[in-house]
Structure formats: structure tokens, C-alpha cells
Amino acid sequence: MGGFGETIFAEMTRLANETDAINLGQGFPDTDGPPSLLAGAAHWIGQGVNQYPPGPGRIELRTAVAEDRKARYGIDLDPETEVYITVGATAGIAAGVLSLVEPGDEVVLFEPMYDSYSGVIALAQGVRRPVTLRPSGSGPNARFTFDPDELRAAVTPRTRMIIVNTPHNPTGTVFTPDELAIIAEVCRDNDVIALADEVYEHLVFDGTVHVPLAAQPGMAERTLTVSSAGKTFSVTAWKTGWVMGPRPLVRAVQTVNQFLTFSANGALQLALADALRDEQGWVRTQRDALQDKRDRLAAGLTEAGFQVSNPQGTYFLMADIRPLGHSDGVDLARALPRLTGVAAVPAQVFYANEDEGRHLVRFAFCKRDEILDEAARRLRAFG
Ligand code: PMP
Ligand code: GLN
């Protein structure tokens, strides 16, 4: 792991704290999840749910996850064997890659890419094969997508896995059914396993529909899907996620995960089981509020001189820094907190081909309106 330093999220959050800047870098909300969920955690801790839960997770939560997936997407899962609770989606992604990728196996993934993928592929001694998402269209209509031929060309006889993140961090792209059909065809034709990172599945805007990769024909049997309570219920510190998929793949995850974390937090799992059933209204309200926040920050950044994209999902937006006369996102992101009192994340670090993202920085908009307004005011004063 010699080539891996501190993650960009840790670095930018430290810088934001040191400079007392508004932190629009690391993605975490500045308001809490549903009150009943918070009370539920306290309740179960008070009830003595304080010892190890079963390794695969409390059956109450696994059942609630399976019911939710059935109701939302019509996907059938056996909670006993096809749902597995992990310490955040991060541990699910790690166990998925470590259990299925052998040294020298190739993993196709879309860049910009979430940083943990590269770390765990390196731990598995796998080889990354990035396919670049590029904006199609311009200005606020730009939407990051891939060239199907580049995807097909990235697959070789050594390809074991493809990692697909939709809704996508950091571009905000939500893959369309057509795009997912192309990915599915590539997986089926080449006998490739998919790891679908759908942690932002509920955070989609303007009526955009999130479609799970596993719902594509022939994909249920070859897809591991991860999701996260941290994103759905604004409790990123709870580090509770889940992996869903066919029995052999979930079993592989279990084999590895029992030696990574063994199990996740039990009381939080019980609270989340109730919230998945009872707090869907809260999730929808949160999503609608995020859509307004996206528009609010996009307007502020545009006024400050950035050229912003219009994400269909997640709580991030990408901003082009070239109209402001800058060309290197890392340099700008390192200087921004001291110069302006606002922290962001350089998109470059999400790329294997760094030049592709040099001119982009990522801003998180999962913050209170007054914080977003103040950030925009500070950036305007700078611009
Ligand atoms: N995947 C993506 C795309 C993410 O943005 C995050 C958020 N950190 C994760 C996985 C990890 O989720 P968790 O915090 O549940 O480990
Ligand atoms: N997923 C969040 C982001 O992309 C935070 C990740 C982290 O801190 N590891 O900002």
C-alpha cells in the first residue's frame, strides 16, 4: 500500500477544521437522521442489545432490507442467505473485492471513482482497468457518461469484476436503463461479476428513477449490490451497510468479512430495521430537500464564476474551475479554505488518468441552507 497516502477526505476535512472553513469537501450531512431512528438506537442500547450480533447481521434488519428491495424494485432476496450486514458499505465493498478478485485479476471500473475501490483492488493485488466518464452536452446540461466501445475494449480474458456506482459519486450521474443494459451485456458476454455500489439509491432528483444493475436480465446471479444506512438516513457515523446478492457471492463475502470485522453494531441494526419500514416518508422529504439544496448551491457557485454540472443524484456536484482562471483542482482545493473559508475536494484524485479531472472540484450540498448561502457568499467574494 506504499503508494497510498492519507485519503483526500481526511486531508480536506482536517484543513477545513484547521482553517475554520465551511466543509463542502467530505460528504456528510450537517443535520441528523429521523428522530425515531435516533431514539431507536438509544432504546435498544438501553434494552441491553450490547453484545456481538450474528456475523451476517440481525435477522430483523436483513428481513427489512429484503422487504424494502422487494417493494421498491421487485427483487426477491432470502434474508437468511442473500443479505449480509457490514460495517458501512466500505466493508461490503472490501469484502466483495477481497473475496472475488485474485492476484492479477482485472477489475473494470468507471472513473472518476470512489477512492476505496482502488485501495481494496490493491489489497487484493488486482489490476484496475478504468473507463472514463466524460460530460456529454455542456454547461448545466452536461451529464457524465461512458463510451460503450471504451467499456467493451477495457474487458479482457483476465477481467473478473466490474464495479458500477449508480447514482455516481462524484459526478451525480444516475445510469439509465439503456446504459445499464450495455453494462449487463458486457458482463454476460464475458462472464464478469458486477459489484454495484448503490449507496445513493434514494438520493435521486427531478423524477429520475434509480434502476438497480441486478434488475437487468441475467444480472441477479452475478451481481453483489451494496447500500448504506449512512446515506439513506443521514447517519454516516453509524457505519452500517448491507450487501445483497446470490447465495454463493454473499457466502464469499461472509468468508472474508468474518475476519475483517466479524459483525457490525447490533443496536443500530435493530433501530435501522424499524426505520426502513417506518421512515420512508422521511427519506422522500430528505431527497426533495436535497434537490433544492443542489439548485441553491449550483446557483451560488455559478454566480461565483464556476461552471457547474447538474447531478441527477447523490449529494455532490462537480464544478469546472477554468472559467475562474484556474487549471489545477488539487492546488485550488488546498488553497481554497485559507483563501475563501470554504473547503471542497479536487476531482483529480478520483481519476487514474489525472489529466481527465484536473479542472474539476467536487462540492457537497448536503448542508443547511444558511451554510450553503454563506459558502456561496464567501466564494463570490473570492471570485
Ligand atoms: N461508496 C460510495 C460511492 C460512497 O460515496 C461512500 C460514502 N463514503 C461509500 C461507498 C461508503 O459508505 P459507508 O460510509 O457506508 O461505508
Ligand atoms: N463518501 C463520502 C465522500 O465521498 C465520505 C468518504 C470518506 O470520508 N471516506 O465524501
Tell me the per-residue pLDDT of 1-58, one tens digit each, with 9 for 90 and over: 888 989 899 999 999 999 999 999 999 999 999 999 999 999 999 999 999 999 999 9
Q: Is 90 in the pocket of ligand 2 (CB under 6 A)?
A: no
173 Cβ contact partners less than 8 Å away, ≥ 6 residues apart: 133, 143, 144, 145, 166, 167, 311, 312, 313
Query: What's the CATH code, domain 8-30+281-382?
Result: 3.90.1150.10
Q: Do 301 and 127 meet the contact criterion of CB atoms below 8 Å apart?
A: no
Sole residue written with cell 421487485: 74
Separation of alpha carbons 23 and 364, rounded Å = 8
Q: Is 169 in the pocket of ligand 2 (CB under 6 A)?
A: yes
Dihedral angle computed from the Cα positions of residues 294, 296, 302 and 305, in that order, rounded to the nearest 10 degrees: -110
Q: C-alpha cell of 174? A: 444516475
Smallest-distance ligand from the CA of 313: 1
> Could you report the predicted ipTM of this complex, rounded to two decimals?
0.97
- pTM of the predicted model as reported, rounded to 2 decimal places: 0.97
Minimal-distance CA residue to ligand 1 atom 5: 169
- CA 198 – ligand 1 centroid, Å: 9
Q: Is 7 in the pocket of ligand 1 (CB under 6 A)?
A: no
- Ligand 1 atom closest to residue 230's alpha carbon, by position in its atom list: 15
For helices 59-73 and 266-278, give the axis angle rounded to 10 degrees.
30
Q: Is 300 in the pocket of ligand 1 (CB under 6 A)?
A: no
| Residue 279: strand, helix, or coil | coil
104 Cβ contact partners less than 8 Å away, ≥ 6 residues apart: 125, 126, 127, 158
- CA 307 – ligand 1 centroid, Å: 26
> Please, what CATH class does the domain formed by 37-278 belong to?
alpha beta
368 CB neighbour count, 10 Å cutoff: 13
- CA 42 – ligand 2 centroid, Å: 26
Strand 159-165 versus strand 106-111 pairing type: parallel
Domain boundaries, the chain: 8-30+281-382, 37-278
Q: Is 277 exposed, middle or buried (0-12, 13-18, 19+ CB in 10 A)?
A: middle
pLDDT digits (tens, 9 = 90+) for 186-229: 999 999 999 999 999 999 999 999 999 999 999 999 999 999 99
- Ligand 1 atom closest to residue 165's alpha carbon, by position in its atom list: 3
Question: According to the model, what pLDDT value does residue 202 have?
Answer: 98
- CA 156 – ligand 2 centroid, Å: 31
- CA 185 – ligand 2 centroid, Å: 30
